[in-house]
Amino acid sequence: MDYLIIGMVAGALTTLASVPQLLKAYRTKSTDDISMGMAIFLFCGLSLWLIYGILSEDLPLIFSNILTLLVWVAIIALKLKYDSKRRGAATL
């Protein structure tokens, strides 16, 4: 079997694994169940995998990590938005 196909399927599955979390956060307007520490460590790890993929010219690593990083940028943005709203409401 072509290794490129295996890499692309693996990348697609790991990218899609984060989408339900993004959708849940957007739908419920709550990110209480997301650890900011975990999100930051994951973001850093994904960034390093992307750099590794670029340096090794590995297309599945490059594409999957770009897409997963975009999903996690959105999740972190929602976390910052919803947590700040909650903190603002608590100070009133």
Specify the number of domains making up the chain.
1
Report the CATH number that the domain containing residue 64 is assigned in CATH.
1.20.1280.290
What is the pLDDT at residue 85?
76
89 vs 55, more confident: 55
Task: Give 1-54 pLDDT, tens digit per residue.
Answer: 688 899 899 999 999 999 999 999 999 999 999 999 999 999 999 999 999 999
Residue 12, domain member (yes or no):
yes
What pLDDT is attached to residue 86? 74
pLDDT of residue 89: 63
pTM of structure: 0.85
By residue range, what is the domain housing residue 79?
Answer: 3-85
Count of CB atoms within 10 A of residue 86's CB?
13
Dump pLDDT digits (tens) for 75-89: 999 999 999 877 766
Least Cα distance to 30 among 16, 40, 89, 92 occurs for: 89
